[in-house]
Amino acid sequence: MHALTEHQVRRSFLNCSKGEANGLALPKDFGTLDWAGLELLGWRDPKAPLRGYLVVETEERPLGIAVRAADTRMSSRTAAMCLLCQTTHAGDAVSLFTARRTGEAGRSGNTVGTYMCADLGCAQRVRTEIPPWLQDRTRPRWSPSGPRSCGNGCGGSSTPSGDEVLAATAQAARAEESTGSDTGGSPARRPRSISPPAADMASTNTAEP
């Protein structure tokens, strides 16, 4: 983001009145923010704990949205994901936020909502460095005739996923039906079920980290 002034931030809000925008509390570190390191500006109102604000920069001008957190929190024993930055937290670190719609709909009390980081600190998390083990990870392709090398030295020895098995099965079935229709109208044979070795079935249906 480019550096914004206090005036620009207050004028950016779409779903609150000028009086509400002028009365909201800005982040305590507003004067020292590293704007170049932000994808968006998000914070909770220190004077009104349930209120929060998001400001994003567009090509035309900054746009701000006032949000309100739910009165209750999820249990810390469960896992939850922020749908804005897609970071997984303990449940109590994610909150349901609602925003009043603009125009007549908002004046009638209509709102929209989604789950976000409870502290609205998504800007610090979307730029989290990807671990080297995940950067270097490559996944080989799989076909009905067996695994193929991905071309990056992986050797093609990985167990196929369930989706890959289904896609390969459908491809083989289409090819077999096409072959049957090209041989004088003889009926196409029923495709055989294609599956990985039985010893690897458990890992096939297991979600990868």
Q: Identify which of 106, 114, 123, 111 has the alpha carbon closest to the alpha carbon of residue 43.
A: 123
Residue 45 is assigned to a structural domain of this protein: yes
pLDDT for 203: 42
The answer to whether residues 105 and 148 belong to one domain is no
90 lies in a domain?
yes
Domain that holds residue 38: 6-125
46 and 147 both lie in a single domain: no
- Regarding whether 90 and 21 lie in a shared domain, the answer is yes
Question: 132 in a domain, yes or no?
Answer: no
pLDDT at 170 (0 to 100) = 58
**Do 92 and 145 lie in a common domain?**
no
152 with 70, same domain: the answer is no
145 and 119 together in one domain: no
Q: pTM value?
A: 0.58
Q: Is residue 206 part of a domain?
A: no
Name which of 61, 52, 72 is nearest 117 in CA terms.
52
> Do residues 147 and 57 both lie within one domain?
no
Spatial CA neighbour of 40 closest among 22, 25, 60, 62: 62
Residues 117 and 173 grouped into a single domain:
no
Each residue's pLDDT expressed in tens, for the chain with a length of 209 residues: 899 999 999 999 999 889 999 999 999 889 899 998 888 999 999 888 899 999 999 888 999 999 999 998 899 899 999 998 888 899 999 999 999 998 888 888 889 999 999 999 888 888 766 666 666 664 544 444 554 444 444 444 444 444 554 555 556 555 555 555 444 444 444 444 434 444 443 444 444 44
Q: Quote the number of domains for the chain.
A: 2
Task: Say whether both 142 and 116 belong to one domain.
Answer: no
